Structure 1
Amino acid sequence: MNDAARKLAPLAKDQAEQHYREAPNNLEAEQALLGAILVNNDAFYRVSDFLKPVHLYEPLHRRIFEIAGEIIRMGKTANPVTVKTFLKADEKVGDLTVAQYLARLAAEAVSIINAEDYGRAIYDLALRRSLITIGEDMVNIAYDAPLDMPPQSQIEDAERRLFELAETGRYDGGFQSFNDAVALAIDMAGQAFERDGHLSGISTGIHSLDGKMGGLQRSDLIILAGRPGMGKTSLATNIAYNIAAAYEPEVQPDGSFKAKNGGVVGFYSLEMSSEQLATRIISEQTEVSSSKIRRGDISEADFEKLVACSQMMQKVPLYIDQTGGISIAQLAARARRLKRQRGLDVLVVDYIQLMTGSKKSGENRVQEITEITTGLKALGKELNVPIIALSQLSRAVESREDKRPQLSDLRESGSIEQDADVVLFVFREEYYVKNMEPRDEFDPKYEEWKMQMEKVKGTADVIIAKQRHGPTGTVKLAFQSEFTRFSDLADPSLTQYEH
């Protein structure tokens, strides 16, 4: 063998070893865990909250774990005799039949004390295999460079899959048993019972609205729409700040934090800058008019109020992204990052029509809006947070005698109405009545106008036009335009009425 061949021989050996590397697994740990479960069914409950059949490497082990789990959940005993009846009798494991293999697992079972350690080892190896799959896909797609997946969208896709893996320990989705769904529903009811105000969702801080909606429900897409000047941004800002200010974290057993009350809020402000948004919130909290703050027309007492308020607000977990014309893919990637780094309980988007879809939808704005609303709905489910998305209404409202918005007024696409779990309209009659003021105050109609103005002054209607899990109707709120603040009316008898 010449020198060159001698140098290449070990390299070829290394490459061969790398090429045939086996995915990380530990069959002995799987056998030990299954043996412990077959001998003492309590071992199953030590691992069932985090270990699923899909996490086991050997297909036969997956089936044994799944069957044993179903038998135990039914309140029966899982042992080699009861489990073997659900497996193919003629299946072989080396020289052993399935029945002999099950008996061997039970006979060689170790102490139940180690069951959780084995379960954790199996789970970690399954995560490593999932990471390898994501990594291999990234490498293969980057090599192939397909036209329909430019590098930016590949990064977003990889980020989404990694996020799902970090959040749930698996990135494949799949079916969920009805048992698990029922357990989640009962858990949600228990949390509602313990939470302030007994709400199943996150409180908006406006009691009359919570009473009608039960708070903001996780994974819901809530569309908040209105004509310009109705105060939809003000309402969204009020709700976002109320939730962030009420944030009360609770430490979980794994060391992470979860919101007991309130929550961490992400606010995408596509229309206003973060300073404008902050000015609105400061004005609302201090009751100093935002126009006065902007002009600097404030007293020393007002300024002290502003400073005290800003110090208090610095601790509030409200994060603002002011990127204009953001795409749904960019928005999703940033929301995932925020959830991973700071936590996330509510997302606000102001507003849908300022977002962009992918280039695939071309010039068709209806298709683009459809893609955006579908993307927001999917993101809400993925992150398990409510998303409040603001939307404009068509001008058709202005040409009608009755200016109250209807679902058909949602602009550019039926998909907004279709994808939304809740549709809220903000309507301030005061805005329209004010514009109808007769020029001559001695006009006979002036008194009539004045009476009408008194009736609607300082009020706003939030019309719940659609709600998947609750009633529709109208909630009357107080609105202070100088501080852009919505709040509950002082007289509770006026606050709600059904459609």
Structure 2
Amino acid sequence: MLKKKFLKNFYSVYSEQYILASLILYNNSWNDIYYFLNIDNFFFKNHKIIFSIILEFLNLNVSFDIYSIFNRIKIYSNFNFLNYLNYIVQKTPNPYNIIYYAHIIHNMFLLRKILIFSNNIINNILKSDKLNINEILFNIELDIFDILRNYLKEKNDSYLLSSIFNKYFLNTNFSKNFYISTGFKNLDNILKKINGGDLIIIAGRPSMGKTSLSLNIAKNVSNEYNLPVIIFSMEMSSNQILIKILSCILNENQDFINKTLNSELLNNFDKKYLKIIYSLKIFIDETTNLNVIQIYTKCKFLIKEHGPLGLIVIDYLQLMYSTNPGQNRVLEISEISRSLKCLAKELNVPIIAISQLNRNLESRNNKRPVISDLRESGSIEQDADIVLFIYRDEIYDSENLLNKNIAELIVGKHRNGPTGTANLYFFDNKSKFSDF
């Protein structure tokens, strides 16, 4: 543990006194700093005690002053709190700079956390007999994520209705910056457009085309909006994803591409297809056993290098790992889906997460999925903005030619609009969806 002398440049006695005195003199000044300041931000024990009592009064919506605080606080120790409270109040005549000093306290707290966790990394490496690099990196990611989460609290995410109105109607680039189309008219007629920050669940039984649909949307988004798209493929290799995307673009069977994928085929490509392939900003990450923190870190690096993302695809949700392993799997899935929704909002990027369905539906006469069929669903249906099921009747009735190549996209949940069913053509051997 770092000794206090190493932290001497990373706390401010005056700033902490200023905040406490301002809150005592003007209780309502709490409204300016409530969204990021908490007890842990204070360095000195007595300041934490005073602040905890102030929070008690604030939570009860009760006015307070020096004496009401002292009456609650005198049970803690023999320290002369009354004299000290009088002292800090007298040296702080007004609260007009309370936001400035609150930021100082909060930033000092974050710097102390960085120092402490950096010191812990060094100590753990030096003391460990067997170095597990994966475990070390995972713990570093957890600590960084925690610090970033605390830092992001400083942003005031409340906006006046009129400013949102102006942003919505007067910004000519609003649609491009905040919405994406799936690229399929029949589906867009129901969904209209997908918002940045939306969590979209694409679910279905095996072989229904879940991965293909997500890749089709990813291709459309990258091609239409010229934005980077990242696909986290925990089941398929990057080569398999490549074949599916090529098959869709070239309108050729995957078997044909697999057999002829060589430099000669490349030379025979139509230039318009080559232009599409090289223009797509699609990144594929085939890391297995990912958790939300790792996805967050990878996305932040990608944003830093290539700018804002257009879409994140996760294939698939049940292959992800919780940051709190060991608990009930349903609770783990609930934590993952909730974290993915938070990640989508934080990055202002829509996330498509592919999900498996319970096999129980196979015993029903009508095998079209419903929300309750989500496998290990936990709170997926609550966290998701859109739940989209893929159903192909030809999987169950292959002799009926009327069902051939028809995919029903069932919108089972739509937080911001209607539900319904969009019919598309699906050519399985080409991994390609298209409008009627």
| Partner residue of 1:312 out of 260, 268, 279 | 279
Tell me how far apart the structure 1 counterparts of residues 101 and 324 of structure 2 sit (CA, whole Å): 49
Against the structure 1 CA distance between its residues 88 and 156, is the aligned structure 2 distance closer, same or farther, given a 3 Å change threshold?
Answer: same
1:234 is aligned to 2:206: no
Shift of residue 25 of structure 1?
0.5
Tell me how far apart the structure 1 counterparts of residues 84 and 322 of structure 2 sit (CA, whole Å): 57
Cα contact 1:267–1:319 (8 A) shared by 2? yes
1:124 is aligned to 2:107: yes
Cα contact 1:282–1:306 (8 A) shared by 2? no
Deviations 1:183-236 (A, max 9, x none): 499988876665655997655444554554465567765432223332211111
1:380 is aligned to 2:340: yes
Kindly provide the amino acid, as one letter, of the partner of residue 431 in structure 2. T
1:477 is aligned to 2:424: yes
Q: Per the alignment, in what secondary structure is the counterpart of residue 105 of structure 1?
A: coil
| Partner residue of 2:233 out of 266, 269, 293 | 269
Partner of 1:436: 399
Against the structure 1 CA distance between its residues 209 and 142, is the aligned structure 2 distance closer, same or farther, given a 3 Å change threshold?
Answer: farther
Tell me how far apart the structure 2 counterparts of residues 33 and 416 of structure 1 sit (CA, whole Å): 40
TM-score by length of 2: 0.67
Against the structure 1 CA distance between its residues 356 and 40, is the aligned structure 2 distance closer, same or farther, given a 3 Å change threshold?
Answer: closer
Tell me how far apart the structure 1 counterparts of residues 82 and 377 of structure 2 sit (CA, whole Å): 63
Kindly provide the amino acid, as one letter, of the partner of residue 378 in structure 2. S
Q: Per the alignment, in what secondary structure is the counterpart of residue 415 of structure 1?
A: coil
1:341 is aligned to 2:326: no
| Partner residue of 2:85 out of 94, 98, 102 | 98
Tell me how far apart the structure 1 counterparts of residues 124 and 417 of structure 2 sit (CA, whole Å): 45
Partner of 2:37: 52
State the number of aligned residues: 406
Tell me how far apart the structure 2 counterparts of residues 357 and 237 of structure 1 sit (CA, whole Å): 25
Tell me how far apart the structure 2 counterparts of residues 272 and 94 of structure 1 sit (CA, whole Å): 64
Kindly provide the amino acid, as one letter, of the partner of residue 88 in structure 2. Y
Mapping 1:340-419, distance limit 5 Å? 340-343=300-303, 346-352=311-317, 370=330, 373-385=333-345, 386-393=350-357, 401-407=365-371, 409-411=373-375, 413-415=376-378
Mapping 1:7-406, distance limit 5 Å? 18=3, 21-22=6-7, 24-30=10-16, 52-54=37-39, 55-57=41-43, 60=47, 87-88=69-70, 96=83, 98-99=85-86, 101-106=88-93, 121-135=104-118, 152-153=134-135, 155-169=137-151, 183=159, 196-197=174-175, 203-206=181-184, 208-210=186-188, 212-213=190-191, 215-216=193-194, 222-245=200-223, 264-285=228-249, 287=251, 290-294=254-258, 295=260, 302-313=269-280, 316=281, 318-323=282-287, 326-327=288-289, 330-343=290-303, 346-352=311-317, 370=330, 373-385=333-345, 386-393=350-357, 401-406=365-370
Against the structure 1 CA distance between its residues 373 and 348, is the aligned structure 2 distance closer, same or farther, given a 3 Å change threshold?
Answer: farther
Tell me how far apart the structure 2 counterparts of residues 371 and 425 of structure 1 sit (CA, whole Å): 23
Deviations 1:130-170 (A, max 9, x none): 2245456667888999xxxx874564244123123135417
Tell me how far apart the structure 2 counterparts of residues 380 and 192 of structure 1 sit (CA, whole Å): 25
Against the structure 1 CA distance between its residues 391 and 115, is the aligned structure 2 distance closer, same or farther, given a 3 Å change threshold?
Answer: closer
Tell me how far apart the structure 2 counterparts of residues 247 and 143 of structure 1 sit (CA, whole Å): 49
Tell me how far apart the structure 1 counterparts of residues 166 and 54 of structure 2 sit (CA, whole Å): 30
Kindly provide the amino acid, as one letter, of the partner of residue 383 in structure 1. L
Kindly provide the amino acid, as one letter, of the partner of residue 436 in structure 1. E
Against the structure 1 CA distance between its residues 436 and 336, is the aligned structure 2 distance closer, same or farther, given a 3 Å change threshold?
Answer: same
Deviations 1:405-456 (A, max 9, x none): 3445445x353766762432112345556x205xxxxxxxxxxx5xxx2xx5
Q: Percent identity?
A: 25
Greater radius of gyration (CA): 1
Cα contact 2:291–2:321 (8 A) shared by 1? no
TM-score by length of 1: 0.60
Against the structure 1 CA distance between its residues 226 and 416, is the aligned structure 2 distance closer, same or farther, given a 3 Å change threshold?
Answer: farther
Kindly provide the amino acid, as one letter, of the partner of residue 104 in structure 1. K
Cα contact 1:222–1:420 (8 A) shared by 2? no
Shift of residue 304 of structure 1?
1.8
Shift of residue 105 of structure 1?
1.4
Cα contact 2:21–2:88 (8 A) shared by 1? no
Against the structure 1 CA distance between its residues 218 and 57, is the aligned structure 2 distance closer, same or farther, given a 3 Å change threshold?
Answer: farther
Structure 1 unaligned residues grouped into runs of 5+: 1-14, 75-80, 249-262, 362-366, 438-448, 490-499
Kindly provide the amino acid, as one letter, of the partner of residue 337 in structure 2. K
Shift of residue 312 of structure 1?
1.0
Q: Per the alignment, in what secondary structure is the counterpart of residue 223 of structure 1?
A: strand
Deviations 1:78-132 (A, max 9, x none): xxx997687547988778463553232128x9xx7x8877565434312112224
Against the structure 1 CA distance between its residues 322 and 360, is the aligned structure 2 distance closer, same or farther, given a 3 Å change threshold?
Answer: closer
Cα contact 2:24–2:66 (8 A) shared by 1? no
Q: Per the alignment, in what secondary structure is the counterpart of residue 92 of structure 2?
A: helix
Tell me how far apart the structure 2 counterparts of residues 484 and 123 of structure 1 sit (CA, whole Å): 51
Tell me how far apart the structure 2 counterparts of residues 210 and 389 of structure 1 sit (CA, whole Å): 18
Kindly provide the amino acid, as one letter, of the partner of residue 27 in structure 1. V
Kindly provide the amino acid, as one letter, of the partner of residue 241 in structure 1. K
1:461 is aligned to 2:408: yes
Q: Per the alignment, in what secondary structure is the counterpart of residue 424 of structure 1?
A: strand
Q: Per the alignment, in what secondary structure is the counterpart of residue 229 of structure 1?
A: coil
Tell me how far apart the structure 2 counterparts of residues 205 and 374 of structure 1 sit (CA, whole Å): 30
Q: Per the alignment, in what secondary structure is the counterpart of residue 424 of structure 2?
A: strand
Structure 2 unaligned residues grouped into runs of 5+: 304-308
